Amino acid sequence: MHQVSKAGSAAQGQKSWGPKIGANCVDFRIWAPGQKEMTLRSSGKDRLMNRSAGGWFELTVAEAKVGDAYAFVLEDGSAVPDPASRAQAGDVHGPSLIVEPSYQWVNDAWKGRPWEEAVISEIHIGAFTGEGTFKAAAEKLGHLAEMGYTAIEVMPVAQFSGTRGWGYDGVLHYAPHSAYGTPDDFKAFIDAAHGHGLMVLLDVVYNHFGPDGNYLHGYAPEFFRFDRNTPWGAAIDFGQEPVRRYFVENALYWIGEFRLDGLRLDAVEQICDTSKQHILEQLSAEVGNAFADRAVHLIVEDQRNLVSLLERDGGGRVKTFTAEWNDDFHHVAHIIATGETDGHYRPFASDLWEKTKLAMQHGFVFPDRGNPPEVPKDERVYLPPQAFINFLQNHDQVGNRAFGERLVSLAGPDMVEMLAAILILSPQVPFLFMGDEYGETQPFHFFSDYAGELGEIVRKGRAAEAEGFGGLKEGKTPDDLPDPNTVSTFANSKLQWQRFDSDEGTRWKTYVRELIGLRHSYVVPLLKKPERVASTALESVDGALAIDWTFGTSTLELRANLTDTQLAVPAFDGAAIFDRLGRNAVQPGDGKLAARSVVFAIDPRLVN
């Protein structure tokens, strides 16, 4: 029986999306309220579909079978793919394929991992390896596991136009992108990750459709709102029940049929819903109910920094979403590393070190940003450290730069080493971009596969996008920017795996592996304690950080000097578990910290 998942069938009598395979037939259905008639084209025949209440069209075909191509024909004679296609025969403009979930899982007993254990590597399937496929990526998973990573976050794989792109322009949200492989190839990748003890999180885009290959406007204009726009066009109308089901079932489909360990929802501030139950709440509740026997984690990206999305109940359990990408930490760290203060970094440039302390203590520098007045510091809603995913770079922060430079190329290895130690050993969940573990210097560009007018629009938009992420270098003009639509821009974004085993790559791996190992040994056990975490920023001069996190009776202490001169810092009471300079830079009672030092200490009773 082909269905979204055990829990993914229509709820409370609501119709569901996508073909359903029975013993000797296939049920096709599509929501097309803008059409009076719809025709199914399959098995070499055109068949008029039956219209039912609410704008649905349905038809059962006895001779249809797995592997057959099919499409829906509109009143004007144009053929369109199934918006809930599980796989495409070709690109986003061609017919869909009937797919039956027959993959035989090897790691069938996998139930996931606790969120407190998360150390995440973000990867792009196309740029992760030279081949750019699920199969090739699966062969590299052992390297990530050996580093101590416990989770992979995969950039979007929903079918998008062309053969290369970041994936945020997907139009067929149920179909793994065919350039990466088949649905079973993606399942095998996830299965292999589980065999290495790695969780797999998938980046999904529920706030818009891509500009090429989205045919919904032609037969279901009610799918969109025309009184509200997003940066990518008309907003999705989540007040329509079939629209809600499309996205809720999509979440259940990926987690159920593909056994993903969670989803990262892109730019949820662009999801507008005035329904009694917000679509984000409904999605979270249905996922939680469907997979109560598994550790499933839902992550958000939200420019508003809404603390309400991350709140816990009285027992410390997640109410809606597990964690959020924390741009605030990234922005202060980036200014410290590079001195860049334009674009997105401007609001963080003043009182930089005070804002850095706020990010280390509370996660968000600006909670509920965009909803003035700012929440007073003494009225902040408590969120545990693991509600925040911190990073020094990700696909946005690298790829939206004019020339895709990584942080190590901008700030140098010494600064990045210090910041990496702070990132990985602080209580918030650390997130690294692919290649960070071996000091990758290869740029990661924005790339796409558009031609004609759309290609020109994307090309011209790069300079404006780059202004938010460092702008153009002196002496450079927009004409110098890499063309996102050329194959070479994509090829020049792929990881250089030859660096992995180089002397410099090995040095980075040794360093990062040590940090992740220390996190698993000392920080993760603290995060698993039931007590509320108290955070304190001790007084320190600019250039230094002195933060204490108290977990019940145990305290994790950070002392850092990110300058080139010795600075005074508050003493710490614990035993050092990490000292970047390896010379016990600060002892209890000593108020001086050597230049370019990072020290973490913990209750001596907890040190092996």
What span, in angstroms and rounded, lies between the C-alpha atoms of 104 and 486? 38
Residue for token digits 């001195």?
339
What span, in angstroms and rounded, lies between the C-alpha atoms of 337 and 415? 6
Contacts of 506 (CB under 8 A, 6+ apart): 438
Task: Using alpha carbons, list the distances in angstroms from residue 599 to 3, 374, 386, 430, 548.
Answer: 52, 33, 21, 17, 12
Q: Is residue 281 annotated as a catalytic residue, yes or no?
A: no
CB 557 within 8 A of CB 572: yes
Choice among 68, 185, 237, 301 that is catalytic: 301
Segments of 539-587 assigned E as strands: 544-551, 554-561, 567-568, 575-579
What span, in angstroms and rounded, lies between the C-alpha atoms of 343 and 356? 18
Cis omega (within 30 of 0) for bond into 482: no
The 10 Å Cβ neighbour count of residue 332 is: 23
Give the 3-state DSSP-derived string for 308-363, with helices as H, strands as E and coil as C.
HHHCECCCCCECCCCEEECHHHHHHHHHHHHCCCCHHHHHHHCCHHHHHHHHHHHC
Choice among 261, 266, 340, 396 that is catalytic: 266
Q: Is residue 266 annotated as a catalytic residue, yes or no?
A: yes
26: which strand partners? 21, 61
Residue for token digits 């920017």?
481
Query: β-strand 69-73 against 79-80: which pairing, if any?
Result: antiparallel
What span, in angstroms and rounded, lies between the C-alpha atoms of 72 and 28? 10
> Which positions are annotated as active-site residues?
266, 301
